[in-house]
C-alpha cells in the first residue's frame, strides 16, 4: 500500500508518500481500506520535532502519522466479528498509521458510520469530536455560563461552539483571526466574535465576565482569556497551538476562585479508554441526529499530506482537515 512516511523531523516536506508493507489486523482487530483520514494540529507539532521526547512523539522513526480513519472493513483478525467485513466504520487507530491506504483498528473502536455522514465528516468527529465532547463535560457548561472559545473556527472550535449553544450557555464568545474565521464562528453559534490577532482584544468585552474558557491556543491569548474569569470560572486547557502553554500559577487561580481543568489530567477521567469510546459515540450520534454539524474545511489527496500540514501551520485551515487516499 501507499502511506505518508516521516523518516526525519522537519518541515512539511519530510512527509513523503512511500510504498510500504500492508498492515495486518491482529487479534480483535480489523483492517480498513481508508476512505478518509483526519489530520490533527498536534501532528504538525510532532512532525516538526517540537514534541520529540514527549509521550506525544513516536517511539521511533520511520513513522506514519494519523489516528483518525474511516472506510470499509476489508479483513478481520482472529477474535473480531467476521460480520464486520464490508461494513463502513470510523475510529481511532491504537497508535498511528492513519495517513495510509490501509489501517488497523481495534474492532471495539470501529464505530459504524451513521447514515447521512460522509467518510470525511465521520473522521471529523473522532479524536476531534470526542475531545470536544470531553471538554464540554469537563467544564460542565450550563445555562448560566458565558463561554469563550479560542480558535473558534478550528476543528475543535466549531464543535465547542455548538456544544456550548446546545447546553444553553447564556453567551458564547468566539475568538479567531481574520474576518473569514469570525464569520464562521458566528455561523457555528457564537453570539459575539472577536479577532484576537492583536493584544488587547479583550477590551471589547468591557466589564463582562466569562465563566468558561476553552484554551487550545495558550501563550498570551490564553493568559488574556484567563483574566476574564471571575469566581466560579473554569479555565479548560487542552492545547498550545501558539507553541506555548498558558502560564498560570495554581495559587493565582485559586485566589481568584477559578478552577483550572486540564484535558491532559490529572485527573485523566474524561480521557480513559471507555470514556473515549463513549464520547466518540456521543459525537457521531449527535451528528447523526442533526444536533451537531460536522465541518470539513478542506480535503487533500493522500500524496499531499505535506500541503495539508503546511496549510494548518499557516493558519489557513478552518474546521477539520482531511486526507483522501
Decide: helix, strand or coil at residue 314: coil
Spacing of C-alpha 27 from chain mean position: 28
Residue of 164, 190, 241, 323 interacting with ligand NAP (CB under 6 A) = 241
CA distance 205 to 220: 17
Tell me: does residue 235 bind ligand NAP (CB under 6 A): no
Residue 45: count of CB within 10 angstroms of its CB: 20
Q: How would you classify the pairing of strands 229-237 and 210-215?
A: parallel
Residue of 181, 234, 309, 310 interacting with ligand NAP (CB under 6 A) = 181
Nearer to ligand NAP among residue 47 and residue 76 (C-beta): 47
Tell me: does residue 15 bind ligand NAP (CB under 6 A): no
Residue of 71, 154, 189, 270 interacting with ligand NAP (CB under 6 A) = 154
Tell me: does residue 155 bind ligand NAP (CB under 6 A): yes
Residue of 242, 277, 281, 293 interacting with ligand NAP (CB under 6 A) = 242
| Spatial CA neighbour of 294 closest among 125, 71, 110, 134 | 125
Tell me: does residue 64 bind ligand NAP (CB under 6 A): no
Task: Give the end-to-end CA distance of the chain in Å, rounded to a whole number.
Answer: 10
Q: How far is the CB of 96 from ligand NAP (least distance, A)?
A: 14
Residue of 14, 42, 85, 307 interacting with ligand NAP (CB under 6 A) = 42
Residues 255-284 vs ligand NAP: string with x where CB under 6 A? ------------------------------
Residue of 157, 189, 270, 325 interacting with ligand NAP (CB under 6 A) = 157
Binding range to ligand NAP, per CB under 6 A, among 38-46, 186-194, 266-274, 276-284: 38-46
Q: How far is the CB of 294 from ligand NAP (least distance, A)?
A: 13
Tell me: does residue 156 bind ligand NAP (CB under 6 A): yes
CA distance 148 to 42: 22
Decide: helix, strand or coil at residue 82: helix
Residues 122-151 vs ligand NAP: string with x where CB under 6 A? -----xx--x-------------------x
Nearer to ligand NAP among residue 145 and residue 150 (C-beta): 150
Tell me: does residue 51 bind ligand NAP (CB under 6 A): no
Q: Is 125 exposed, middle or buried (0-12, 13-18, 19+ CB in 10 A)?
A: buried
Q: How would you classify the pairing of strands 210-215 and 146-149?
A: parallel
Residue 313: count of CB within 10 angstroms of its CB: 17
Spacing of C-alpha 80 from chain mean position: 28
Residue 257: count of CB within 10 angstroms of its CB: 11
Binding range to ligand NAP, per CB under 6 A, among 9-17, 84-92, 107-115, 153-161: 153-161
Q: Which of residues 190-229 bind ligand NAP (CB under 6 A)?
A: 216-217
| Spatial CA neighbour of 85 closest among 96, 74, 95 | 74
Nearer to ligand NAP among residue 128 and residue 202 (C-beta): 128
Nearer to ligand NAP among residue 49 and residue 232 (C-beta): 49
Residue of 235, 238, 295, 300 interacting with ligand NAP (CB under 6 A) = 238
Decide: helix, strand or coil at residue 229: strand
Alpha helices in 52-192 (DSSP H): 119-123, 127-139, 155-166, 179-187
What is the DSSP-derived secondary structure letter of residue 211? E
Sites of contact with ligand NAP (CB under 6 A) = 40-42, 127-128, 131, 151, 153-157, 176-177, 181, 216-217, 238-243, 315, 317
Amino acid at each position: 500500500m501507499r502511506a505518508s512516511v516521516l523518516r526525519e523531523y522537519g518541515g512539511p516536506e519530510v512527509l513523503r508518500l512511500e510504498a510500504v508493507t500492508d498492515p495486518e489486523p491482529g487479534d480483535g482487530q480489523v483492517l480498513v481500506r481508508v476512505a478518509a483520514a483526519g489530520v490533527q494540529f498536534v501532528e504538525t507539532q510532532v512532525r516538526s520535532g517540537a514534541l520529540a521526547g514527549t509521550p506525544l512523539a513516536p517511539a521511533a522513526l520511520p513513522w506514519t502519522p494519523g489516528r483518525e480513519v474511516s472506510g470499509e472493513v476489508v479483513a478481520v483478525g482472529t477474535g473480531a466479528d467476521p460480520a464486520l467485513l464490508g461494513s463502513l466504520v470510523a475510529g481511532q487507530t491504537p497508535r498511528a498509521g492513519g495517513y495510509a491506504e490501509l489501517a488497523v483498528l481495534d474492532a471495539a473502536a470501529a464505530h459504524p458510520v451513521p447514515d447521512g455522514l460522509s467518510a470525511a465528516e465521520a473522521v471529523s468527529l473522532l479524536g476531534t469530536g470526542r475531545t470536544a465532547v470531553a471538554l464540554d463535560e469537563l467544564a460542565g457548561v450550563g445555562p448560566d455560563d458565558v463561554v469563550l472559545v479560542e480558535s473558534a473556527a478550528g476543528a475543535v472550535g466549531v464543535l465547542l461552539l455548538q456544544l456550548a449553544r446546545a447546553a444553553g450557555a447564556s453567551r458564547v464568545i468566539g475568538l479567531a483571526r481574520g474576518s473569514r474565521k469570525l464569520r464562521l464562528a458566528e455561523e457555528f453559534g457564537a453570539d459575539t466574535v472577536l479577532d484576537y490577532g492583536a493584544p488587547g482584544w479583550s477590551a471589547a468585552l468591557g466589564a463582562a465576565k466569562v465563566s468558561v474558557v476553552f484554551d487550545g491556543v495558550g501563550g498570551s491569548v490564553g493568559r488574556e482569556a484567563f483574566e476574564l474569569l471571575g469566581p466560579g470560572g473554569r479555565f479548560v486547557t487542552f492545547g498550545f497551538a501558539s507553541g506555548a502553554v498558558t502560564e498560570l500559577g495554581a495559587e493565582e487561580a485559586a485566589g481568584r476562585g477559578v478552577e483550572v481543568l486540564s484535558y491532559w489530567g490529572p485527573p485523566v477521567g474524561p480521557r480513559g479508554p471507555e470514556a473515549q469510546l463513549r464520547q466518540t459515540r456521543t459525537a457521531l450520534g449527535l451528528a447523526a441526529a442533526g444536533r451537531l454539524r460536522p465541518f470539513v474545511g478542506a480535503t487533500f489527496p493522500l500524496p499531499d499530506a505535506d500541503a495539508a500540514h503546511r496549510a494548518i501551520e499557516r493558519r489557513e485551515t478552518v474546521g477539520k482537515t482531511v486526507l483522501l487516499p
